[in-house]
Structure 1
Amino acid sequence: MNRKLLALPIVVGLMTPVLAACGSGSGSGDDGKAIVFGTTDEFHITPQAPAPLDPVTGYDIQSWNVFYNTFQTLLRYPRSGTDPEPEAAKECHFADGLGEQYRCTLRDGLEFSNGHALTSKDVKFSIDRMLAIKDENGPYSLLTNVDKVETPDDATVVFHLKDPDATFPYKLATPAAAIVDSEVYDPKKQHAGFDIVGSGPYQLDSFKEGDSAVFTKNPHYKGTIKLNNSKIELKFFKNSTDMEKALKAGDIDVMNRTMTPDQLNSLNISTDSNIKLTETAGTEIRYLVFNTADPVVKQKAVREAFAQIVDRQAITRDVYKRTTEPLYSMVPAGITAHATSFYNTYGEPSVPKARKVLKEANITTPVELTLSYTTEHYGEATKAEFELLKKQLDASGLFKIKLQPVADWHAYTDAGRKHSYQVYGMGWFPDFPDPDNYVAPFLAKDNFLELAYANPQIQNQLINSTRQKTQRSATFPDFTAVQNIIASDVPMLPMWQGKQYLAARSDITGTEWTLNASSTTQFWELGRGVTG
């Protein structure tokens, strides 16, 4: 059974859905029984990642799935709309006309899950700690515009920014600004192990590496979220096949990340009344990163010819079975200022055009390149995607491609930042629904990829210009210019844009609200209703 949630191509927030199937039910009940949520995500303690559940270390979708449910932020996104609303704060506003000072007042009586009082000092501690530790795998780059944080009293927090930033409230609604207990977390080092002390709607009761994690309702929580259940069990699976079997057997109630395209299509046409598939618009993107410090890749003509050959339509059709859409810009459809710059620049795939580009640059063919990808993080279809990429490029006669799969996610990202790859694949789940979040994390001075490529116009002019505009529609010209520069210089190559899917037993309610605009999971929306 399939239910689709339709969305118009406008700024994507937590959109009010339109249901096109039966059994949506909003009357969720809580019988005290855990709702078991299946995932192929993995959390491991390693020397490179000793603290997988510390907000300073996690900047990926699986970590944020946990953080959104266990930590509070001053602001959060509502069910519908894109403007952050108060959560741990009862009110926030820019306190000056320049957009350089942001002030928040906390709710009364806030407490962490251990019963400790939460005050403005904990908020300041959390921001200062994020910036002090500056973990290379963490989201500190979202907060680097913070100059200092002041706490005039226990209920007031004042952020002083280095430069005007209209997107700052959006950033305060992400786990980069998760509030941690200053009596528990060390100000200068990671909080190792599987332990969480937050003030969010859930507390983490247990974590068995490679098996399961149990979250229960936090009795100390004071915020705006209404829980439709009192217990969530996160069940970890090695592969999506075993996860689907568990769902059909009734051993789990819900599954999300990561399902294969074949599974999604099978569930879409299934007549099994016990299982329902929910589809929503998504703003996840996949892209390739070009290491412009590499002797071969630094030649712009090589990157242009590569972009001229890649057939996105074939990849979304043959690998992803139309569960994704071709993407021609780093800013996806559904986000303000989206443009189709790569299509405008390169048009349809063309080997003759690519050959001409290389010939005019006096580049000998075939160009030998290694394409690297992770086998752990983005699902089982990634391997097939890169195999088809290799086939397309090799078939042109202009490239000779070698594939390099990498199993360990942290080793993979570390190598990318160290410029160890020529070309490598990455994905992006947005921190917040604004075009800034598809530009600054990759192209600002403190970008998390640590790209060898740097464009002064983007870094010094265009990003700053967009952040001074509180009316986001006024940013169109600047963001269009950024997208056109990326298409011209090709430091990255956008590949496809994903949709969001969640499969659940028919008695589970709230699935239409469970995945937010960042593809993160809001456990509190899930409830248990009537089967069928």
Structure 2
Amino acid sequence: MTISPASASRRDFLKVSGALGLAAGLAATLAACGGSQKPTGTGTGADPSKINKDGTITAGISYELGTTGYDPMITSAALTIAANWHTLEGLTELHPATREVYAALGAELPKKVDDTTYEVTLRDGAKFSDGTAVTTDDVVFSFERVLEPTNKSTYLQFLQFVAKVEAKDATTVTIKLNYPFSLVAERLSVVKIVPKAVVEADAKAFDLMPTGSGPYKMTDNSAASQNIVFERNDHYNGPHPALAKTMTWKIMPDDTTRTNAMTSSKVQAIDAVPAANLKQMKAPVTVAAQQGFSLLFAMFNHSTFSDPKARQAVMYALDYVKICETGMSGLATPATCFVQDGHPAFKQAKTVYSYDAARAKSLLSEAGVTSLSLLCTNHGWFSSARPIIKENLEALGVSVAYDERKSADAYQLIDGSQGPWDVLIAPGDPSVFGNDADLLMRWWYGTDLWTETRMHWKGSESYTAIQALLDEAVRLEGEAQVAKWQEIFDKLSEDVPLYPIFHRKTPTAYDSQTLSGFKPIALTGLSFVDVGSTTA
């Protein structure tokens, strides 16, 4: 039996029809509902009779336009990845809402020829938004640019199993593997197919305004307008066509501005609903808080916290109930495993951390720790949790030096060894790239940036053991593979090189009357795949 990202997980929804009570009471109103739905060519739940085919979708987005562009070879920003869901395609894709893998530019999911050979035939008549045909040369080019180490692609780390991709003929590509790999269909989705001629002609222009084969095409993303504008790609002939003629994302990083835009019907959906503003939402606005992998983690500097007892002490020092219920207004669940409860590979880890100040003090004493430098990123959505974490660690009776910085500045300090730090508290969500446990773990535990430059963990006994287990797991399938991942989860819970404090529920607000087929997602960002507008 193979386990797919769609197998699975029950999803937590908060349905609000009328004024909400205090945000702190949010957790008590969460209700579980339904399993995952399979994507279809007419939308995931959209009602064709209600959709205005010439309608417009308008959304408020919490993330600012960054300094990097949209090139799918390198981008990892939440905003650009979400935009690319709508304009670009891989041979396969993971539906943003269901996380089910489906054939996108491929006519079918990859066909296994032998243990290390797969073939994919392109969708008949597939074209880019400029009207040019998608060719096997484009596919080979797209993979080669990601696989070329000098290009420093964000996605190379997820493709170590790929030896090469080559054109078999005008319609089919052959994918040769370095070793048998059980997650080919899911993992190929990280490579978006781009037009070779357009990229080679002007890579910078492509980065700013990508040409793709997705259901929409981007027409504006200027910082001056603070809007990202999309139009239906009339050349698209795939399984998830655009159900609106145009779509505009308004960049609204300010919580109050974004909330006011939603409550005044200036937008039809917003992401990152602030817990403090939840009570402002009234019908027809629906708020959904969907449990996902997205987490807040503690990362340790192994140069100073090399003793696992010191790392375990920090984990036992945290009041998880207070952090999640008070600091996060119920929009978080204490971690009991590396992955969240509901993930296909979830099993409660061997070590589950709970608030135990006495044990934390004892472990710190055994490790000889008398002071620690605590570094936190300043992301607004966990601003009320930071004081609790700081207070928990100060209560251990050791000297705590606290530093709070923007995310980029925090990592600049760490990467450049510009200052002391022992513990970093920061968010992360590699599930935007994929949902399988191997990918989620390798994001932090398999690359030199995290393991060597940041954690200084590479080369340790536990690092070596984790790498061996990861490499063993990817060669397995089904229940044996899941069991091996769970063995890794157990070891991570004891070694805690970097470990989740909680998994987050992602709050989204949307107008259920003017959007048809909208599905809140557990990822950062918004998805309008398979969504239509009922208004002009």
> Taking structure 2 as the reference length, what is the TM-score of the superposition?
0.84
SS at match of 1:524: coil
Residues 476, 138 of structure 1: alpha-carbon distance in 2 compared, 3 angstrom cutoff: closer
1:522 counterpart = 2:527: yes
Aligned to 2:384: 384
Aligned to 2:93: 76
* Count of matched residue positions in the alignment of Structure 1 and Structure 2: 494
1:336 shift after superposition: 2.4
1:453 shift after superposition: 1.7
Q: Which amino acid is the alignment partner of residue 300 of structure 1?
A: P
SS at match of 1:232: strand
Describe how 1:26-37 pairs up with structure 2 within 5 A.
Answer: 27-30=49-52, 32-37=54-59
Q: Which amino acid is the alignment partner of residue 427 of structure 2?
A: M
Q: Which amino acid is the alignment partner of residue 469 of structure 1?
A: L
Aligned to 2:499: 493
Contact 1:303-1:490 within 8 A present in 2 as well: yes
Tell me, in whole angstroms, the C-alpha distance in 2 between the residues paired with 1:146 and 1:191.
29
1:487 shift after superposition: 1.5
Describe how 1:419-498 pairs up with structure 2 within 5 A.
Answer: 421-424=421-424, 425-430=426-431, 431-445=433-447, 451-454=455-458, 455-460=463-468, 462-471=469-478, 473-498=479-504
Aligned to 1:109: 125
Aligned to 1:370: 374
Contact 2:429-2:523 within 8 A present in 1 as well: no
Could you say what the CA RMSD is over the residues aligned between the two structures, in angstroms?
A: 3.0
1:87 counterpart = 2:87: no
Identity in percent: 20
Tell me, in whole angstroms, the C-alpha distance in 2 between the residues paired with 1:147 and 1:433.
23
Contact 2:54-2:244 within 8 A present in 1 as well: yes
1:508 counterpart = 2:510: no
Decide which moves more: 232-241 or 410-419. 410-419
Aligned to 1:196: 210
Decide which moves more: 473-482 or 116-125. 473-482
Q: Of the candidates 195, 204, 223, which is equivalent to residue 209 of structure 1?
A: 223
Aligned to 2:81: 64
1:179 shift after superposition: 0.6
Q: Which amino acid is the alignment partner of residue 354 of structure 1?
A: A
Q: Of the candidates 223, 240, 252, which is equivalent to residue 237 of structure 1?
A: 252
Aligned to 2:32: 6
Decide which moves more: 319-328 or 28-37. 28-37
1:170 shift after superposition: 0.7
Tell me, in whole angstroms, the C-alpha distance in 2 between the residues paired with 1:333 and 1:235.
33
1:138 shift after superposition: 2.2
Q: Which amino acid is the alignment partner of residue 465 of structure 1?
A: E
1:349 counterpart = 2:355: yes
Q: Which amino acid is the alignment partner of residue 135 of structure 2?
A: T
Aligned to 2:319: 311
Decide which moves more: 416-425 or 65-74. 416-425
1:228 counterpart = 2:229: no
Contact 1:61-1:429 within 8 A present in 2 as well: no
Q: Which amino acid is the alignment partner of residue 316 of structure 1?
A: C
Decide which moves more: 84-93 or 65-74. 84-93
Q: What do residues 76-100 of structure 1 show as CA deviations (whole Å, max 9, x unaligned)? A: 23588655221111123353442x2
Tell me, in whole angstroms, the C-alpha distance in 1 between the residues paired with 2:443 and 2:369.
34
Q: What do residues 82-126 of structure 1 show as CA deviations (whole Å, max 9, x unaligned)? A: 55221111123353442x222100012211111222111111111
Residues 432, 193 of structure 1: alpha-carbon distance in 2 compared, 3 angstrom cutoff: closer
1:164 shift after superposition: 1.9
Q: Which amino acid is the alignment partner of residue 221 of structure 1?
A: Y
Unaligned runs of 5+ in 2: 1-14, 18-29, 40-44
SS at match of 2:397: coil
SS at match of 1:280: strand
Tell me, in whole angstroms, the C-alpha distance in 2 between the residues paired with 1:83 and 1:247.
29
Aligned to 2:146: 130
1:165 counterpart = 2:181: yes
Q: Which amino acid is the alignment partner of residue 270 of structure 2?
A: M
Decide which moves more: 194-203 or 183-192. 183-192
Aligned to 1:336: 344
Aligned to 1:284: 294
Tell me, in whole angstroms, the C-alpha distance in 2 between the residues paired with 1:121 and 1:194.
23
